[in-house]
């Protein structure tokens, strides 16, 4: 099986063109091929597929986390899937429409001198804010904005909250997949490996959740760290950065146009006022290609 290793600001996945080959069980393959010691290595597996004829898309994306669970969307991953489809001649439409678990998303892109995609803007659509649709199990709320943080019995001593200057309130947003956004004074001081899995699997999140800690540098700039559902600590999260842009506006911390600094690089976000769509812009990079042996 031929594969391509790609990344969007360090959020790396193994990509397989399934218009030309077949994977019988991608959920089972994902944790094996994404293993950084015994496999190719990555945050998961993403497959390029033909779009269903009824949806009006050019291609389809399915995304599997490193634990084999399937996610609805991946913001960094969809930029790289667009690059794979374009650079391999599958689809050169600009804009390109990609079918995802979030629905059909529209992507525009720019190319380098070799006519290879280097930068992609994704129309992420409107954020989902109703608790039942995120989902968050908090009956009676119309939105989860500055909601008191639930009790974290397994997250160790509360000293870390004081150390990082945590605001003990969360804002939850879905960009097709669920996100919890928390603000603090120093993201570097958050013990993410300990706190992330506790929040991800908390009982109020029936489908688990992606967790982001955010440090506000200015009204137009933030620093963030991410614990991704099913993958753990990652260098970047495009849907998460989009959720952070929305959360910043809802909590009056940041503006609708935002530069997000993530451990792997920067993303540009814009929660557009005229239609409430979130636009996310960033690079897409091919790392290498290879062959995965048949079982």
pLDDT beneath 70, residues of the chain? 154-158, 295
Does 269 share its domain with 135?
Answer: yes
**Domain span including residue 96:** 2-124+282-291
282 beta partners:
120
Does 172 share its domain with 259?
Answer: yes
Does 269 share its domain with 287?
Answer: no
pTM tops 0.75, yes or no: yes
Does 144 share its domain with 233?
Answer: yes
CATH number at residue 65: 3.10.310.10
Q: For 46-60, how does the pLDDT look when each residue is reduced to its tens digit (9 = 90+)?
A: 999 999 988 999 999
Overall number of domains in the chain: 2
- Which residue of the set 18, 74, 82, 172 is catalytic? 74
CA dihedral (94, 63, 138, 145) in degrees, to 10, reads -40
Does 195 share its domain with 250?
Answer: yes
Does 81 share its domain with 170?
Answer: no
Does 234 share its domain with 156?
Answer: yes
Q: Distances from the Cα of 240 to the Cαs of 57, 64, 210, 262, in angstroms?
A: 24, 16, 7, 10
Q: Is 82 a catalytic residue?
A: no
Q: Is 91 a catalytic residue?
A: no
CA atoms of 65 and 82, how far apart (whole Å): 19
CA atoms of 121 and 40, how far apart (whole Å): 27
- Which residue of the set 82, 164, 184, 237 is catalytic? 237
Q: For 67-109, how does the pLDDT look when each residue is reduced to its tens digit (9 = 90+)?
A: 999 999 999 999 999 999 999 999 999 999 999 999 999 999 9
pLDDT of residue 5: 98
pLDDT of residue 154: 63
């Amino acid at each position: 099986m031929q594969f391509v290793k790609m990344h969007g600001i360090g959020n790396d996945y193994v990509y397989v063109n399934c218009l030309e080959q077949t994977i019988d069980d991608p959920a089972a393959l994902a944790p094996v091929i994404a293993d950084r010691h015994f496999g190719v290595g990555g945050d998961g597996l993403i497959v390029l597929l033909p779009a269903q004829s009824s949806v009006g898309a050019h291609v389809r994306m399915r995304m599997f986390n490193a634990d084999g669970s399937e996610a609805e969307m991946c913001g960094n991953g969809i930029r790289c899937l667009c690059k794979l489809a374009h650079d391999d001649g599958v689809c050169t439409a600009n804009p390109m429409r990609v079918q995802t678990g979030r629905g059909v998303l529209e992507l525009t892109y720019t190319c380098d001198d070799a006519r290879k995609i280097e930068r992609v803007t994704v129309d992420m659509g409107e954020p989902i804010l109703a608790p039942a649709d995120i989902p968050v199990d908090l009956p009676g709320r119309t939105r989860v904005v500055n909601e008191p943080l639930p009790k974290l019995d397994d997250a160790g001593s509360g000293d870390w909250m004081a150390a990082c200057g945590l605001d003990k309130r969360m804002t939850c947003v879905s960009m097709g997949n669920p996100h919890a956004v928390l603000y603090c004074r120093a993201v570097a001081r958050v013990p993410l490996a300990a706190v992330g899995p506790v929040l991800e699997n908390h009982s109020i999140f029936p489908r688990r959740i992606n967790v982001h800690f955010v440090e506000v540098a200015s009204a137009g700039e933030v620093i963030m760290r991410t614990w991704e559902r099913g993958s753990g600590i990652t260098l970047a999260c495009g849907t998460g950065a989009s959720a952070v842009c929305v959360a910043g506006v809802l909590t009056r911390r940041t503006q609708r146009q935002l530069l997000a600094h993530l451990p792997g690089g920067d993303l540009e976000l814009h929660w557009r006022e005229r239609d409430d769509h979130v636009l996310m812009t960033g690079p897409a990079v091919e790392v290498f290609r290879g062959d995965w042996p048949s079982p």
